[in-house]
Amino acid sequence: MQRIRLRYTKRGRLRFTSHRDFQRAFERALRRAEVPMAYSAGFTPHPKVSYANAAPTGTGSEAEFLEIALTERRDPETLRALLDESLPAGLDITDAVEARTSGLADRLAASVWELRLDGVPVEDAEKAVDAFLAAETVEVQRKTKNGIRTFDTRAAVAALAADRPQGDPRGDGPADDACAILRLVVRHMTPAVRPDDVLSGLRAVADLAPPVPAAVTRLAQGPFDEESGTVTDPLAPDREAVTAASTTAAATAPATAPEAGPA
Protein backbone atom coordinates (compact mmCIF):
# COMPACT_ATOMS: atom_id res chain seq x y z
CA MET A 1 0.00 0.00 0.00
CA GLN A 2 1.33 3.43 -0.98
CA ARG A 3 0.47 6.52 1.06
CA ILE A 4 0.42 10.00 -0.50
CA ARG A 5 0.21 13.25 1.46
CA LEU A 6 -1.45 16.23 -0.21
CA ARG A 7 -1.59 19.94 0.50
CA TYR A 8 -4.71 21.76 -0.70
CA THR A 9 -6.32 25.20 -0.53
CA LYS A 10 -9.72 26.76 0.16
CA ARG A 11 -9.87 30.01 -1.80
CA GLY A 12 -12.47 32.61 -2.72
CA ARG A 13 -16.09 31.56 -2.25
CA LEU A 14 -14.96 28.00 -1.51
CA ARG A 15 -13.86 29.17 1.96
CA PHE A 16 -17.52 28.83 2.93
CA THR A 17 -17.59 25.09 2.23
CA SER A 18 -17.77 22.93 5.32
CA HIS A 19 -15.34 20.11 5.98
CA ARG A 20 -18.06 17.62 5.06
CA ASP A 21 -18.65 19.48 1.75
CA PHE A 22 -14.96 19.18 0.96
CA GLN A 23 -14.97 15.47 1.81
CA ARG A 24 -17.76 14.84 -0.67
CA ALA A 25 -16.06 16.91 -3.39
CA PHE A 26 -12.73 15.18 -2.81
CA GLU A 27 -14.20 11.67 -2.96
CA ARG A 28 -15.88 12.58 -6.26
CA ALA A 29 -12.52 13.85 -7.53
CA LEU A 30 -10.89 10.54 -6.55
CA ARG A 31 -13.44 8.69 -8.70
CA ARG A 32 -13.08 11.07 -11.65
CA ALA A 33 -9.30 10.76 -11.58
CA GLU A 34 -9.59 6.94 -11.31
CA VAL A 35 -7.29 6.85 -8.30
CA PRO A 36 -6.71 3.22 -7.11
CA MET A 37 -7.88 3.89 -3.57
CA ALA A 38 -7.57 1.48 -0.68
CA TYR A 39 -10.87 0.97 1.16
CA SER A 40 -11.74 0.17 4.74
CA ALA A 41 -13.22 -3.20 5.65
CA GLY A 42 -16.71 -3.80 7.02
CA PHE A 43 -20.29 -3.38 5.82
CA THR A 44 -19.79 0.23 4.62
CA PRO A 45 -16.32 0.44 3.04
CA HIS A 46 -15.02 3.96 2.46
CA PRO A 47 -11.84 5.35 0.90
CA LYS A 48 -8.88 5.52 3.26
CA VAL A 49 -8.47 9.29 3.56
CA SER A 50 -7.08 10.94 6.70
CA TYR A 51 -7.70 14.67 7.20
CA ALA A 52 -5.51 16.72 9.52
CA ASN A 53 -6.64 19.85 11.42
CA ALA A 54 -9.10 21.28 8.89
CA ALA A 55 -9.75 25.03 8.95
CA PRO A 56 -13.12 26.27 10.31
CA THR A 57 -15.94 26.93 7.85
CA GLY A 58 -15.77 30.49 6.51
CA THR A 59 -11.99 30.80 6.68
CA GLY A 60 -9.73 30.55 3.66
CA SER A 61 -6.59 28.46 3.68
CA GLU A 62 -3.42 27.94 1.69
CA ALA A 63 -2.27 25.04 3.86
CA GLU A 64 -4.70 22.16 4.44
CA PHE A 65 -3.36 18.61 4.55
CA LEU A 66 -4.65 15.08 4.04
CA GLU A 67 -3.30 11.59 3.38
CA ILE A 68 -4.64 8.91 1.05
CA ALA A 69 -3.81 5.20 0.77
CA LEU A 70 -3.49 3.54 -2.65
CA THR A 71 -3.52 -0.09 -3.73
CA GLU A 72 -1.20 0.62 -6.69
CA ARG A 73 1.81 2.90 -6.89
CA ARG A 74 1.40 6.28 -8.55
CA ASP A 75 3.76 9.20 -9.17
CA PRO A 76 2.81 11.88 -6.59
CA GLU A 77 3.07 14.81 -9.01
CA THR A 78 1.01 13.09 -11.70
CA LEU A 79 -1.61 12.20 -9.09
CA ARG A 80 -1.63 15.81 -7.82
CA ALA A 81 -2.30 17.18 -11.31
CA LEU A 82 -5.13 14.70 -11.97
CA LEU A 83 -6.86 15.49 -8.69
CA ASP A 84 -6.42 19.23 -9.13
CA GLU A 85 -8.14 19.04 -12.53
CA SER A 86 -11.01 17.08 -10.97
CA LEU A 87 -11.75 19.60 -8.20
CA PRO A 88 -13.54 22.96 -8.56
CA ALA A 89 -11.44 26.12 -8.81
CA GLY A 90 -10.63 27.28 -5.29
CA LEU A 91 -10.12 23.77 -3.97
CA ASP A 92 -6.64 23.35 -5.41
CA ILE A 93 -4.12 20.56 -4.79
CA THR A 94 -0.80 22.40 -4.56
CA ASP A 95 1.65 19.76 -3.32
CA ALA A 96 2.01 15.98 -3.12
CA VAL A 97 4.66 13.73 -1.62
CA GLU A 98 4.91 10.03 -0.84
CA ALA A 99 4.54 9.45 2.90
CA ARG A 100 7.81 8.01 4.22
CA THR A 101 7.49 9.13 7.86
CA SER A 102 4.82 8.90 10.56
CA GLY A 103 3.04 11.53 12.59
CA LEU A 104 1.87 14.15 10.09
CA ALA A 105 -0.88 15.35 12.44
CA ASP A 106 1.65 15.69 15.28
CA ARG A 107 3.81 17.96 13.11
CA LEU A 108 0.96 20.44 12.65
CA ALA A 109 1.94 22.31 15.80
CA ALA A 110 1.15 25.91 14.79
CA SER A 111 -0.60 28.01 12.15
CA VAL A 112 0.08 31.34 10.47
CA TRP A 113 -3.09 33.38 9.91
CA GLU A 114 -3.87 36.60 8.06
CA LEU A 115 -6.87 38.62 9.27
CA ARG A 116 -8.14 41.46 7.10
CA LEU A 117 -9.98 44.08 9.19
CA ASP A 118 -11.84 46.39 6.82
CA GLY A 119 -12.87 49.67 8.38
CA VAL A 120 -10.16 49.51 11.07
CA PRO A 121 -7.31 52.07 10.91
CA VAL A 122 -3.87 50.50 11.21
CA GLU A 123 -3.03 52.74 14.16
CA ASP A 124 -6.01 51.41 16.14
CA ALA A 125 -5.02 47.84 15.30
CA GLU A 126 -1.42 48.46 16.42
CA LYS A 127 -2.57 49.84 19.79
CA ALA A 128 -4.82 46.82 20.31
CA VAL A 129 -2.02 44.41 19.39
CA ASP A 130 0.36 46.12 21.85
CA ALA A 131 -2.22 45.84 24.63
CA PHE A 132 -2.85 42.16 23.83
CA LEU A 133 0.86 41.25 23.79
CA ALA A 134 1.50 43.17 27.02
CA ALA A 135 -1.15 41.20 28.91
CA GLU A 136 -0.16 38.06 30.81
CA THR A 137 -3.54 36.45 30.16
CA VAL A 138 -6.44 37.39 27.90
CA GLU A 139 -9.54 35.43 28.80
CA VAL A 140 -12.43 35.08 26.38
CA GLN A 141 -15.63 33.06 26.31
CA ARG A 142 -16.82 30.66 23.64
CA LYS A 143 -20.12 28.84 23.39
CA THR A 144 -19.63 25.06 23.15
CA LYS A 145 -22.01 22.09 23.13
CA ASN A 146 -21.41 21.86 26.89
CA GLY A 147 -22.21 25.52 27.52
CA ILE A 148 -20.12 28.69 27.83
CA ARG A 149 -16.39 28.04 28.27
CA THR A 150 -13.82 30.60 29.48
CA PHE A 151 -10.19 30.16 28.48
CA ASP A 152 -6.96 32.11 27.96
CA THR A 153 -5.98 33.09 24.40
CA ARG A 154 -2.68 34.83 25.18
CA ALA A 155 -0.59 31.72 25.88
CA ALA A 156 -1.26 30.24 22.43
CA VAL A 157 -0.24 33.37 20.50
CA ALA A 158 3.42 33.18 19.47
CA ALA A 159 3.36 36.34 17.33
CA LEU A 160 0.89 39.07 16.45
CA ALA A 161 1.46 42.22 14.37
CA ALA A 162 -0.61 44.81 12.51
CA ASP A 163 0.23 46.20 9.08
CA ARG A 164 -1.31 47.85 6.03
CA PRO A 165 -2.48 45.75 3.07
CA GLN A 166 0.47 44.79 0.88
CA GLY A 167 1.16 47.42 -1.74
CA ASP A 168 -1.15 49.99 -0.08
CA PRO A 169 0.26 53.44 -0.96
CA ARG A 170 -2.39 55.52 0.83
CA GLY A 171 -0.61 56.33 4.05
CA ASP A 172 -3.15 57.73 6.51
CA GLY A 173 -6.41 57.31 4.64
CA PRO A 174 -9.89 58.22 5.87
CA ALA A 175 -11.41 56.02 8.56
CA ASP A 176 -14.22 54.74 6.32
CA ASP A 177 -11.61 53.53 3.81
CA ALA A 178 -9.23 52.12 6.40
CA CYS A 179 -7.99 48.55 6.48
CA ALA A 180 -5.62 46.75 8.83
CA ILE A 181 -3.98 43.39 8.28
CA LEU A 182 -3.17 41.24 11.31
CA ARG A 183 -0.45 38.59 11.02
CA LEU A 184 -1.00 35.92 13.66
CA VAL A 185 1.04 32.87 14.63
CA VAL A 186 -0.85 30.63 17.02
CA ARG A 187 0.26 27.37 18.61
CA HIS A 188 -2.14 24.43 18.46
CA MET A 189 -3.03 23.87 22.09
CA THR A 190 -5.91 22.47 24.14
CA PRO A 191 -8.36 24.11 24.07
CA ALA A 192 -7.69 25.19 20.47
CA VAL A 193 -7.38 28.97 20.04
CA ARG A 194 -8.90 30.16 16.77
CA PRO A 195 -8.48 33.52 15.01
CA ASP A 196 -11.94 34.63 16.11
CA ASP A 197 -10.90 33.95 19.72
CA VAL A 198 -7.94 36.31 19.26
CA LEU A 199 -10.30 38.94 17.83
CA SER A 200 -12.46 38.51 20.94
CA GLY A 201 -9.31 39.01 23.03
CA LEU A 202 -8.47 42.22 21.16
CA ARG A 203 -11.97 43.45 21.85
CA ALA A 204 -11.59 42.59 25.54
CA VAL A 205 -8.26 44.36 26.10
CA ALA A 206 -8.57 47.31 23.69
CA ASP A 207 -12.22 47.50 22.60
CA LEU A 208 -11.21 46.75 19.01
CA ALA A 209 -14.43 45.91 17.15
CA PRO A 210 -14.25 45.73 13.32
CA PRO A 211 -17.45 47.07 11.69
CA VAL A 212 -17.59 44.06 9.34
CA PRO A 213 -16.53 40.43 9.90
CA ALA A 214 -12.83 39.82 9.39
CA ALA A 215 -11.66 37.94 6.29
CA VAL A 216 -9.46 35.16 7.70
CA THR A 217 -6.95 33.05 5.75
CA ARG A 218 -4.54 30.40 6.98
CA LEU A 219 -1.23 30.93 5.22
CA ALA A 220 0.73 28.00 6.68
CA GLN A 221 0.67 25.29 9.32
CA GLY A 222 3.35 22.91 10.46
CA PRO A 223 6.16 22.48 13.01
CA PHE A 224 6.91 25.59 15.08
CA ASP A 225 10.55 26.69 15.33
CA GLU A 226 10.90 28.32 18.75
CA GLU A 227 14.22 30.02 17.88
CA SER A 228 13.07 31.77 14.71
CA GLY A 229 9.37 31.95 15.58
CA THR A 230 8.47 30.53 12.15
CA VAL A 231 6.19 27.72 11.02
CA THR A 232 7.99 25.25 8.75
CA ASP A 233 6.87 22.80 6.05
CA PRO A 234 5.32 19.61 7.56
CA LEU A 235 5.99 17.66 4.35
CA ALA A 236 9.74 18.35 4.39
CA PRO A 237 10.65 15.16 6.35
CA ASP A 238 8.86 13.04 3.72
CA ARG A 239 10.63 14.82 0.86
CA GLU A 240 13.98 14.30 2.58
CA ALA A 241 13.22 10.61 3.17
CA VAL A 242 12.27 10.11 -0.50
CA THR A 243 15.48 11.83 -1.63
CA ALA A 244 17.60 9.77 0.77
CA ALA A 245 15.97 6.53 -0.39
CA SER A 246 16.56 7.43 -4.05
CA THR A 247 20.22 8.25 -3.35
CA THR A 248 20.72 4.97 -1.47
CA ALA A 249 19.05 2.96 -4.22
CA ALA A 250 21.25 4.56 -6.89
CA ALA A 251 24.40 3.92 -4.84
CA THR A 252 23.60 0.25 -4.22
CA ALA A 253 22.31 -0.59 -7.71
CA PRO A 254 24.53 -3.21 -9.41
CA ALA A 255 26.66 -1.87 -12.24
CA THR A 256 25.57 -3.02 -15.69
CA ALA A 257 28.13 -5.32 -17.24
CA PRO A 258 29.50 -4.04 -20.56
CA GLU A 259 28.38 -5.94 -23.62
CA ALA A 260 30.99 -8.32 -25.08
CA GLY A 261 32.43 -7.25 -28.39
CA PRO A 262 32.64 -9.45 -31.47
CA ALA A 263 35.13 -12.34 -31.27
CATH tag for 109-225 (out of 2.30.30, 3.40.1000, 3.30.70, 3.30.310) = 3.30.70
Tell me what pLDDT residue 143 has: 84
pLDDT in tens, 208-225: 999 999 999 999 999 999
Q: Name, in order, each residue with C-beta under 8 angstroms of 149's C-beta and a sequence gap of 6 or more.
A: 141, 142, 143, 191
Low-confidence ranges of the chain (pLDDT < 50): 169-176, 263
Tell me what pLDDT residue 169 has: 44
Report the DSSP beta bridge partners of residue 7.
65, 95
Q: Name, in order, each residue with C-beta under 8 angstroms of 208's C-beta and a sequence gap of 6 or more.
A: 120, 124, 125, 128, 199, 202
Taking Cα atoms as reference points, which of 35, 44, 124, 20 lies closest to residue 78? 35
Compute the mean pLDDT over every residue in the chain, rounded to the nearest whole number: 91
pLDDT in tens, 121-159: 999 999 999 999 999 999 999 888 888 889 999 999 999
- CATH 3.30.70.580 residue ranges of the chain are 2-106
Tell me what pLDDT residue 151 has: 92
Domain 2-106 in CATH 3.30.70.580: yes
Predicted TM-score (pTM) of this structure? 0.87
Q: Is 33 left (phi over 0), alpha (psi -120 to 50) or beta?
A: alpha
